[in-house]
Amino acid sequence: MTTDPRVALNMLVQTLEEHLNAVASKRGEEDSTVEAAYYGIADAFEAYEDALYATYDEVTPLEVFVEDDGEEDEDLLEADEPEEDRADEDYDEDFEDESEQGADAASEGRRGR
């Protein structure tokens, strides 16, 4: 890892160019060249971010996207929420149910006339 932000930035730009070339000439949806270039960008960006921070105590407003496999249990995600947020969601669901019941009763009342 380099601690010179300029060198790290040049490497990042180079990996972005390599990614563009790989995407422009990809052969199918799962082209390994595109995937390698994708991860190359992530690695080069993190190296740049580390060098920038080490040298100037600064960061960029960017983050490396980490794809979620989507298999996390929704209950586990809710367990991470503060209790008051879960209570608000329950209240919202109750309010929606009451609104739907009120609308149903109003439409029945109109039909009965």
Which residues constitute the domain of residue 97? 70-113
What is the pLDDT, as a whole number, of residue 113?
46
- Over 50: is that where the pLDDT of 52 sits? yes
Least confident residue range of 28-32, 46-50, 100-104: 100-104
58 and 28 part of one domain = yes
For residue 80, give the nearest of 91, 70, 72 by alpha carbon.
72
42 and 6 part of one domain = yes
Please give, one letter per residue, the 3-state secondary structure of 48-83. Answer: HHHHHHHHHCCCCCCCCCCCCCCCCCHHHHHHCCCH
36 and 77 part of one domain = no
Domain count, the chain: 2
pLDDT tens track for 66-91: 877 665 555 555 656 666 665 566 55
Q: What percent of the chain has pLDDT above 70?
A: 58
pLDDT (mean) for 15-44: 95
Q: Residue 73 corresponds to which tokens in the numbers above?
A: 């249990």
Q: Are 11 and 45 in contact (CB under 8 A)?
A: no
62 and 83 part of one domain = no
86 and 51 part of one domain = no
59 and 92 part of one domain = no
4 and 40 part of one domain = yes
Domain termination residue (choose one: 30, 47, 67): 67
Q: Are 41 and 12 in contact (CB under 8 A)?
A: yes
- Which residues 6+ apart lie within 8 Å of 56 measured at CB? 5
Average pLDDT, the chain: 80
Predicted confidence band of residue 94 (pLDDT cuts 50, 70, 90): low
Angle at 73 between CA 71 and CA 77, to 5 degrees: 115
Domain termination residue (choose one: 67, 87, 104): 67
- Over 90: is that where the pLDDT of 44 sits? yes
56 and 89 part of one domain = no
What is the pLDDT, as a whole number, of residue 73?
52
59 and 11 part of one domain = yes
45 and 100 part of one domain = no
What is the pLDDT, as a whole number, of residue 3?
82
Distance CA 17, CA 33 (A): 13
89 and 111 part of one domain = yes
